[in-house]
Copies of this chain bind each other. A is one copy, B any other.
Amino acid sequence: MKKRLSIKDIAQQLNISITTVSFILNGKAKEKRISNLVTDRVLRLVEELDYKPNQIARSLRTGKSKIICLMVEDISNAFFSSIARQIEENAFDQGYKIIYCSTENKPEKTRELIKMFRERNIDGYIISPPEGIKEDIQSLLDDKIPVVLFDRLIPGLLTNYVMIDNFDATVNGVKHLIDQGYLNIAFITLDSQQTQMKDRLDGYNQVIKEHNLNSYVHKVNYASPYNQHVSSIASYINEHPIIDAVLFSTNYLATRGIDAINTINLKIPADISAVAFDDLDFFKLYQPTITAISQPVEEISKKLIDIILKKLESNLEENDPSEVILPTQLIVRNSSCRN
């Protein structure tokens, strides 16, 4: 194993100083009045020897890493993994690397992760935050480390975010069901205080109230396993046989809900109608196809990376936070149309 090249080697081979090489490699040749002759020589040798600066050393000196951290609730959720893929792709070109991790919605784990990343000079954070980490995020902001939130906000925290219009999303979903003639519409959601969940619930409540319908809200525990969700939803629907349509507030609640509906031998949409959140491949493919509230994954990713890169590159201390709210799209399919 040969020793790795260092900037010193380059300097020595050309009989010039380390400083000069560093200036040239950092594009400061002109600014620092290094002659073209020397500049060319250096660049040529660097190319020839395929010298790459040691990023660790660089990071130690500069406090930067050219790495952005993407913290999502669960990397194995299709919504989040699509976002991850898209963001990675975009950042790569810009010279930034992305590292992802799953918070599992646990504040302690999230806190640990942030701590660890701070020790490693991560430049910026894109986060779908769990509840209870307001202080940790605030502390990042206090240290002028760019943060962009997505999927949900932290109330009372002034920072960049990219959201969807959750309220509007469920409003459309419920209205659609009402248009189709359903009158006893259930809303299956999580026992969570997260903003996106509240907004989705509010949207449901609003329309139900407007139309003087009965409200059927069932909340399941976020942390419970697959089967418990299935049986909880199955029981709820069983106990309220009048329910003729269901709106699910997340993609996995929808798949679990469909499982539940199958379990109790109801047919979609003949016996009960269904609308899901997020447009998974599954929903396009399932028979009947499932009506879904589709989030603009590509746009979300693009906005996220745009914002974080802008903040990273601009050293303007106090530019206003970027606040983006994107619309969702209701994709009507068979699961919500009885005829």
Partner among B1, B59, B60, B286 whose Cβ is within 8 Å of the Cβ of A285: B286
The answer to whether A258 touches B285, judged by C-beta atoms less than 8 angstroms apart, is: yes
> A55-B120, A262-B285 are contacts. A85–B78 as well, Cβ < 8 Å?
no
Partner among B59, B76, B98 whose Cβ is within 8 Å of the Cβ of A84: B76
A202 at the interface (CB under 8 A from B): no
Interface size on A, residues (CB 8 A): 43
Copies in the complex: 2
The answer to whether A120 touches B56, judged by C-beta atoms less than 8 angstroms apart, is: yes
The answer to whether A116 touches B101, judged by C-beta atoms less than 8 angstroms apart, is: no
Instruction: Enumerate chain B residues within 8 angstroms of A99, measured Cβ to Cβ.
Output: 99-100
A232 at the interface (CB under 8 A from B): no
Q: How far is the CA of A284 from the CA of B100 in the complex (A)?
A: 29
- Taking CB atoms and an 8 Å cut-off, the chain A residues in 72-92 that contact chain B are 74-76, 78, 81-82, 84-85, 88
A119 at the interface (CB under 8 A from B): yes
Q: How far is the CA of A262 from the CA of B142 in the complex (A)?
A: 55
Q: How far is the CA of A211 from the CA of B284 in the complex (A)?
A: 37
Which residue of B has the minimal Cβ distance to A287? Answer: B287
The answer to whether A102 touches B76, judged by C-beta atoms less than 8 angstroms apart, is: no
Sample of 4 further A-B pairs with CB below 8 A, known A1-B144, A56-B119 = A52-B119, A55-B119, A56-B121, A255-B281
Interface residues of A (CB under 8 A from B): 1, 52-57, 59-60, 65, 74-76, 78, 81-82, 84-85, 88, 97-102, 115-116, 119-121, 142-144, 255, 258-259, 262, 281-282, 284-287
- 11 residue pairs from A and B, CB less than 8 Å apart: A52-B119, A53-B119, A54-B60, A56-B56, A56-B59, A75-B85, A76-B82, A100-B100, A255-B281, A262-B285, A262-B287
